[in-house]
Structure 1
Amino acid sequence: MSERRPGQWPVDEPVTLDSADQGGAYMQRAAERALHEMVLDSIRHDLQQQPTPLSVLTAARNWCTRITAAAEDIAREKREAA
């Protein structure tokens, strides 16, 4: 068994990003990560605009409710399409 943990440097078999498939996967992951960060930053910005701690928590609960409702709608649409 190796003394190193996964992701620890140096790696035994480094992966090159030269191939189109690996480079494409990397770029797709980077784009998905950027979108995720933009959404979270947008929510964080909205929460920071709230004047009181109670309104921050209320706004957060409203975000959670709206996200859950959207997820339920999308899940229902996907079930109907399947």
Structure 2
Amino acid sequence: MTERRPGQWPVDEPVDLDALGAAEPSFDQLYMQRQKERALHEMVMDSIRHDLEQQPSPVCVLTAARDWCSRITAAAEEIARSKRSAA
């Protein structure tokens, strides 16, 4: 039998593990990426909160919140659909 399954020894094309180690981001890069993601999240949530605080009554606040939820869900479904078709 000459066929080998993935993970069997010997490997036809070995991976250069030293090159993989160099590609790992540093702690500072990971920290900055996390801070950027957190700042973006806070800006989005603050924008939604600001919109909800502008509503004149509790019923309007809940209606606006439901509208935000449906718009976010619709955007997520559209993005997921485009990622599925690209894959």
TM-score, L = length of structure 1: 0.75
The aligned residue for residue 78 of structure 1 is 83
Deviation by residue 1:24-76 (Cα, 9 ceiling, x = unmatched): 00000000000000000000000000000000000000000000000000000
Q: Secondary structure at the match of 1:58?
A: helix
Distance 1:59 1:30 in 2: 29
Distance 2:82 2:27 in 1: 32
Aligned length: 63
- Percent identity, please: 71
In terms of Rg, which structure is larger? 2
The aligned residue for residue 15 of structure 1 is none
Q: Any gaps of 5 or more consecutive residues in structure 1?
A: 1-19
Q: Any gaps of 5 or more consecutive residues in structure 2?
A: 1-24
In the alignment, residue 69 of structure 1 is paired with which amino acid? A
Distance 2:82 2:38 in 1: 25
The equivalences for 1:27-42 within 5 A come to 27-42=32-47
Runs of 4+ in 1 over 4 A off after TM superposition: none
